[in-house]
A and B are shown apart, each in its own frame.
Chain A
Amino acid sequence: MKNLKSLILPAAIILIGAGAALATNVAKNSDANSQTGYYIDSSTGECRQSPEMCSTTPGDLCTWDDGSTIHSLFQADTECSVSLYKPAN
């Protein structure tokens, strides 16, 4: 009985952990219209985060104007390789 009792806390923690992972994953994938756009910094070649939110639904290409250059935006997951589009609304 005591043994069983001592398992309640770890079980709860595991549930919390798995639940949280599921929640962040769902949040990441479900909202096609709120993908953070990343751009290629032309001086360093790095894939950097932009303040623009884009969509994965194909349409016009998502861009961001940093004041001097207009950058095409990408999904960061794959190293600035998958293009993002302007949100439809």
Chain B
Amino acid sequence: MKKLLTKHFSILVPVTSHLYILLFVYAGFSKLLDYENFTVQLAQSPLLSAYAGVVAPVVICMEFILSLLLIFRKTRLTGLYGSFFLMIAFTIYIYLILNYSDFVPCSCGGIIEKLNWTEHMIFNFSFVILALLAIAFSEKEKHTRKHMVLFKISLPSLLAAGVVVGLFLSSEHIIKKENNFIRRFGQHSLRDEKALDLGANSYYFAGMAYGQIYLGNYTAPLVLTSVDTSLTTKVQAKLELDNTALPFRSIRIQIESPYFYVYDGNIPIIYRGKLGDSQARTISFEDCYFSQLQVIDSINFAFRAQSRSTKSQVLGRLSLNREPKVTLNYGLLEKQIDGMFDTDGKLLRDNSTDELAYIYSYRNEILVINKELQLLQKLHTIDTISHAQVQVRRLSDGRHKLDAPPLQVNKTSVLYKQVLFNESMLMGKFESRKAWQQAAIVDMYSTGKQEYLGSFYIYHRGENKMSQMLATDNYLFVLRGSEIVRYRFAQAVTANFKTGEAENPKQSKQ
């Protein structure tokens, strides 16, 4: 009986080895043939994102080397130990994904991808058992001592567990805190698209108040349009200014309840009116010229202007009740090349926290500023462009001109409850080129936690691309062509919004 059993078991070692060879050769070749896809999937995996570039070739190489080792009788046992180690690592990886992640596509290659997670676990587990039996039998043939076998088996198991868990933990840290430009699209951040046709593509977001989205119009500058958040009714109102005898060039409207503001930085003027009323009165005239403006409150404004003395961009504050009214902070915007184009960017305001932010267009930097224009922190977007790539020529008349089309990093952005939504112009590592042709890519950052949160797509509709965003507690509104589109935020996004101090005192920073 014992002899019979031994005879049966003796086939086990070559059978197991050949099964492993078949599996590894098949899986290895499948990955190799679809290598780009394999790396894309690994990068989206919540466990290995940061190491996709290393893990991909290493796994494929290991599969081929182990196949070779398993072929020859002399190296077979080593091969079995290696296979045992790799299979355990795969199994732990799947286990972690099942328990610590919402969804990750399998990156195992070929038809093995068609298995569901439970089937996959059973599949892997049976291979682990096979390897274990084959190892035990081979060691018995060699008369290795029992506790030595036990040690030799537990070592690769522990090592595999350690490697996978270690990679997982450090990958999480790298992706969130020191991202090396790998985007995460894991959880779908937006749901339920709803659109309303506004009839023209010249609208821009003026702000939000009393549950209404306010829109300005570049071609009809004094028409204020409001749309309710369910996108059902659209109301238009014509604004009236107390002084219109000025050569306006670019009139803009901004809403900060209970007021609306009308301004044109080319002419140093700001008007203010009460929402619901169409009359606006001049509150600031000839105080300062500016190229961008953010309303802090009814008498305080932050702006960006061109400094006459340094000929570069500068951030400033206009306070109607102080003397002098205008203060400039030269230290905020850092000149890298010419101080004009390289410091270009967008001045944003988070109306829930009163913080301001300046996002450079041509480098991966964000300045978070308080309303007194003091720098609170510097953040970096996940791309690697830390130095603006702008070629500028100074013309003989003193003007600056761009020489080559610059490399734009950040396009449109919005800051809401310490979450920054930023449309990026740069493709990250292991991303699908096709997706970039079909959608705008928006990255989310938490300015409070100084972390990268994830990314999502805003699809183009035909030729129309997203031009602007507006975030609220539950929705992201987007202008795309002549449409205003509403997306509902997933809970995974809104969980990052900074809540009121009373609700969650732990999160408050000030």
Contact = CB atoms under 8 A, between A and B. Distances in A.
Interface in A14-45: 14, 16-18, 20-22, 24-25, 28, 40, 42, 44-45
Contacts of A44: 102
Nearest to A48: B103
Contacts of B70: 10
B105 interface: yes
Chain B at the A interface: mostly helix, strand, loop or mixed? helix
B33 interface: yes
Interface stretch (B24-32, B169-177, B320-328, B339-347): B24-32
A13 interface: yes
A86 B102 CA distance: 29
Majority SS at the chain A contact face: helix
B25 A82 contact: no
B191 A17 contact: no
Contacts of B21: 10, 13-14, 17
Contact of B29 (A9, A10, A22, A76): A22
A16 B22 contact: yes
Nearest to B187: A45
Contact of B105 (A9, A13, A76, A82): A76
Contacts of B24: 17
B29 A18 contact: yes
Contacts of A42: 191-192
Counting contact residues on chain B (CB < 8 A from A), the size range is 35 or more
B485 to A, nearest CB: 13
Contact of B40 (A7, A13, A46, A77): A77
A79 B44 contact: yes
A40 to B, nearest CB: 5
B120 to A, nearest CB: 15
A7 B103 contact: no
Contacts of B189: 45
A22 B111 CA distance: 11
A21 B33 contact: yes
B147 interface: no
Given A14-B67, A78-B432, A80-B188, A25 B25 contact: no
Contacts of A79: 44, 105, 185-186
B434 A10 contact: no
A48 B174 CA distance: 28
B191 A20 contact: no
B34 interface: yes
B44 A10 contact: no
Contacts of A78: 37, 40, 44, 432, 434-435
B356 to A, nearest CB: 32
A16 B26 CA distance: 8
A71 to B, nearest CB: 11
B29 A40 contact: no
Interface in A53-89: 76-83
Nearest to A38: B105
Interface in B38-79: 40-41, 44, 67, 70-71, 73
Given A13-B21, A24-B30, A45-B492, A81 B110 contact: no
A83 B434 CA distance: 9
B288 interface: no
A47 B188 contact: yes
A48 B18 CA distance: 35
Given A20-B26, A79-B186, A46 B102 contact: yes
A18 B24 CA distance: 10
Given A45-B191, A47-B103, A79-B105, 5 more contacts: A21-B25, A21-B109, A40-B188, A79-B44, A82-B435
7 contacts: A6-B73, A10-B71, A17-B29, A21-B109, A24-B30, A25-B33, A77-B41
Interface of B: 18, 21-30, 33-34, 37, 40-41, 44, 67, 70-71, 73, 102-103, 105, 109-111, 185-189, 191-192, 432, 434-435, 438-439, 457, 459, 490, 492
